[in-house]
């Protein structure tokens, strides 16, 4: 039923509903950190603001995301969804020609990477 709805219900819609209904419930446990729905809402809002202001992101602009499996990945994804930017998920273990191919195929004009990934391959 949700897929047949117009407009369709998105994961961002579901997330926002949970933020309203259970803001202080845990959403993500990573190592010794617990992040609630409210925490992720706040962090994703700050990330969306920073990406709009400093990277000039606007709806429809493709963004390649080259982040490791960590909490920042989740609030980055939410921030991009809030901005209306499609996201090309790049495997952060890929390097060299495979990474170059993934970046070219994504046709992204912006790449988001963690500081540890910066300059690790000849693509940048």
Each domain of the chain, given as residue ranges in start order, spans 11-120
Q: What is the pTM of this model?
A: 0.84
Residue 70 and residue 117: Cα distance in Å, rounded?
Answer: 13
**Residue of 9 and 71 predicted with greater confidence:** 71
**Residue of 124 and 93 predicted with greater confidence:** 93
Above 90 in pLDDT, residue 115? no
What mean pLDDT is reported for the chain? 89
**Residue of 92 and 97 predicted with greater confidence:** 97
Residue 53 and residue 95: Cα distance in Å, rounded?
Answer: 30
pLDDT digits over 5-44, tens only?
677 788 999 999 999 999 999 999 999 999 999 999 999 9
Above 80 in pLDDT, residue 4? no
Helices (H), 22-113: 37-55, 71-83, 96-106
**In this structure, CATH architecture of domain 11-120:** 3-Layer(aba) Sandwich (3.40)
Identify the pLDDT of residue 87: 95
């Amino acid at each position: 039923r949700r897929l047949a709805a117009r407009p369709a219900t998105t994961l961002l819609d579901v997330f926002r509903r949970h933020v309203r209904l259970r803001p202080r419930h845990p959403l993500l446990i990573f190592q010794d950190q617990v992040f609630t729905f409210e925490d992720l809402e706040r962090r994703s809002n700050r990330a969306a603001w920073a990406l709009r202001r400093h990277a000039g992101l606007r709806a429809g602009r493709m963004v390649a995301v080259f982040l490791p499996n960590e909490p920042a990945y989740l609030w980055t994804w939410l921030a991009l969804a809030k901005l209306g930017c499609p996201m090309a998920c790049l495997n952060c273990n890929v390097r060299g020609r495979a990474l170059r191919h993934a970046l070219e195929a994504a046709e992204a004009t912006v790449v988001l990477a963690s500081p540890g990934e910066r300059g690790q391959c000849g693509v940048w």
